[in-house]
Structure 1
Amino acid sequence: MKIYHLHHSGFLIQFDDKTLIFDCFTHIPTSLLRKNIPHYFFVTHGHGDHYTADIFSMDRIYKPTYILSSDIPKVSTFQTHTMEPYQHMSLGGMDIRTFGSTDQGLSYYIATNQHRIFHAGDLNWWDWDTKLKPEIDPEQEEIDFKAEIEKMKNLPMEFAFVPVDPRLGDSFYKAGQYFIETFHPKVMIPMHFMDDFGIIKKFKDKIGNTETIIPEFNQRNVKIKNTWSEEI
Structure 2
Amino acid sequence: MSIEIRYLYHSGFSLETARHFLIFDYYLDTPKGCGLSKGVIDPEEIREKNVVVFSSHSHPDHYSPRVFSWRKTVKQIRYVVADEIRPPEDAVKIAPGQTVDLGDLTVHALESTDLGVAFLVRVDGLNLYHAGDLNWWHWDGEPEEDNEEMGRRFREQIDTLRGEKIDVAFLPVDPRQKENALLGLSYFMKTVGARAVVPMHSFGDTEFYDSLKTDPALKPWLNNILFYRSRGEILTID
TM (norm. structure 1) is: 0.89
Q: Quick check: 1:69 aligned with 2:71?
A: no
Change (3 A) 1:32 1:110: farther
Q: Which runs of 5+ in 2 are unaligned?
A: 30-39
Matching residue within 172, 176, 192 for 1:167: 176
Partner of 1:46: 58
Kindly indicate whether the alpha-carbon contact (under 8 Å) linking 1:204 and 1:214 is maintained by their aligned counterparts in 2: no
Helix, strand or coil for the counterpart of 1:155?
coil
**Structure 2: distance between partners of 1:183 and 1:134:** 29
Change (3 A) 1:32 1:154: farther
Any residues of structure 2 matched to 1:11-160 within 5 Å, and which?
11-27=13-29, 28-30=40-42, 33-62=45-74, 63-75=76-88, 79-130=90-141, 133-134=142-143, 137-160=146-169
Query: After superposition, what is the alpha-carbon deviation per residue over 1:165-220, rounded to whole angstroms, capped at 9, x for unaligned?
Result: 01112101111111111122100100001111012223332211337511111011
Change (3 A) 1:25 1:136: farther
Kindly indicate whether the alpha-carbon contact (under 8 Å) linking 2:43 and 2:73 is maintained by their aligned counterparts in 1: no
Percent sequence identity is 27
Change (3 A) 1:50 1:12: same
Change (3 A) 1:12 1:110: same
CA-based RMSD: 1.9
Query: After superposition, what is the alpha-carbon deviation per residue over 1:123-157, rounded to whole angstroms, capped at 9, x for unaligned?
Result: 00000012xx4597111111111111112212221
Count of matched residue pairs: 223
CA drift of 1:90 comes to: 1.4
**Structure 2: distance between partners of 1:69 and 1:124:** 16
**Which portions of structure 1, spanning 4 or more consecutive aligned residues, are displaced by more than 3 angstroms?**
133-136
Q: Quick check: 1:197 aligned with 2:193?
A: no
CA drift of 1:33 comes to: 3.4
Instruction: Kindly provide the amino acid, as one letter, of the partner of residue 187 in structure 2.
Output: Y
TM (norm. structure 2) is: 0.87
